[in-house]
Every structure is written in structure tokens, then in C-alpha cells.
């Protein structure tokens, strides 16, 4: 996924850019999903085994659903190694979201 967009102060977002960015913000719009995401992001190297992050007080299928949404939005990537799936933060996508909201730029 190619990150977008110019800072939000630079001008009105196009419809296409608005749809792409809204989908990313939507991925972080659920508290459980945001906590799961923060668990991956705060692991050393921005990577975590699903076995290390799943005890957030919801069922395993719910955890899987949230991780899938984060992956589909491009905020996480994943890789299976042996028994476990590992999740990695996608730094370029996060940088795009952060830069878009940074009024200093």
C-alpha cells in the first residue's frame, strides 16, 4: 500500500484519498482493536507473536477478527513461523497517518 496524503492543512482531500485514509482511521476506531495494535507496536521491533498479545479480555475469535481488520487496513502485516503467526506494524502507513494530522508540517 502506498501511503498518502498531504498534511490536512494543505488543502481539501480528494474523494479517493479521503476514502483510503478514512479506512485507516476506522481500523483504529475500536478500543479493543486500538489496544491490540498498541501491544504490537510497543513490542520490541514492532513485532509480536499472536500468542503474546491475545489476552485483552475478549474471545480468541474476536481477537482474530480485530487483527484481520488491522491487516486489511494495512496497519499490520503478518507472517506465519512454525506454530504461530507474528504481526508487524507497517511503519510507512503509520507515518502517513501521523504526518497527515501534524499541523506543524
Q: Contact residues for a copy of itself (CB under 8 A)?
A: 8-13, 15, 18-19, 21-23, 25-26, 28-35, 37-39, 41-42, 46, 89, 91, 94-95, 97-103
Q: Which is nearer to a copy of itself, 12 or 82 (CB)?
A: 12
Shortest Å distance, C-beta 95 to a copy of itself: 7
Which pairing describes strands 47-49 and 84-89: parallel, antiparallel, or unpaired? Answer: antiparallel
Q: What are phi and psi of 56, to 5 degrees?
A: -110, 15
Q: Which is nearer to a copy of itself, 15 or 83 (CB)?
A: 15
Amino acid at each position: 500500500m502506498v501511503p498518502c496524503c498531504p498534511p490536512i492543512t494543505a488543502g481539501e482531500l480528494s474523494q479517493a484519498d479521503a476514502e483510503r485514509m478514512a479506512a485507516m482511521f476506522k481500523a483504529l476506531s475500536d478500543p479493543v482493536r486500538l489496544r491490540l495494535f498498541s501491544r504490537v507496536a510497543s513490542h520490541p521491533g514492532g513485532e509480536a507473536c499472536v500468542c503474546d498479545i491475545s489476552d485483552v479480555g475478549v474471545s480468541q475469535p474476536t481477537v482474530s477478527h480485530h487483527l484481520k481488520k488491522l491487516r486489511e487496513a494495512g496497519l499490520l502485516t503478518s507472517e506465519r513461523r512454525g506454530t504461530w503467526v507474528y504481526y508487524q506494524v507497517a511503519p510507512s502507513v503509520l507515518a502517513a497517518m501521523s504526518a497527515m494530522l501534524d499541523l506543524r508540517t
